[in-house]
Amino acid sequence: MKILFLGDIVGNGGRAAVKTFLPGLMDEYGCDFCIANAENSAGGSGLTSRCVRELLDSGVHAITTGDHVWDQREFAGELPRLTQVLRPANVSPAQPGRGYAVFDAPGGLKVGVVCLLGRTFMMSSADCPFAAADRIVKELREQTPVTLIDMHAEATSEKIAMGRYLDGRVSAVLGTHTHVPTADQQIFPHGTAFQCDVGMVGSRESILGRDIQPVLQRFTTGMPARFTVNNREIRLHGTVVTVADDGRARGIQRVLRDMP
């Protein structure tokens, strides 16, 4: 089977690009299932039930998040009803929602999806993602050999470490959070596809999807600035992973599309 993973979706422009490109990408690459990280889909920070419905209507099957999952205050009350959305798995179990699940794909196939939060350089109270991965992957492998990890982390070393740690136990470990696509896509020796960061679905004339000037002001003066989202000149980054029946990856390919 083939799985399309879309990088961090930023704001209205990112959601519009998913709606525009996703059906064609699924057909062009022969994909069976689509996962998208959408933790920045609501105005550039967090997500809402309306954003979730829009992405699902566009053809996304499962949605992952990260450290910004609760930035929209009302979302904590909305998430328990949104079964296709995953918050990070390695946070307090008192937080609403779930961090991993098995989803049905066309043809009777099943896909395990896990959302993990890194700890290096991250201002979060997450538990050890490696310990969480051990527990979760063992459970998911009893249901399906096809499992994909969204490793939402800042440090490339932590993402690579997770990929190497899970090599042969999951189909893919794909990184999110930094919004910059990396050219290190590969398949590790025991059959796990890996990429440090898939990139983002957001403005290419921006700084990580935000308008340039406020970010420059913060860097050059050290003074607070409100980071606004640029919803123009949108670029979509994604990755297609080809997975064999035994769950081992057989191919990984980066995807790029520019909105006209």
CATH code, domain with 23? 3.60.21.10
Q: How many domains does the chain have?
A: 1
Q: Is 179 a catalytic residue?
A: no
- Per-residue pLDDT, 218: 95
Dihedral angle over CA of 44, 50, 51, 57, nearest 10: -170
SS3 for 104? strand
- Per-residue pLDDT, 51: 98
- Is the pTM higher than 0.85? The answer reads yes
Which regions of the chain are under pLDDT 70?
none
Query: Residue 204 sits in which domain range?
Result: 2-258
- Per-residue pLDDT, 107: 87
Query: Catalytic: which of 61, 68, 152, 237?
Result: 68
Phi, psi of 178 (to 5 degrees): -85, -10
Residue 61, CA distances (Å) to 13, 48, 214 in order: 20, 16, 34
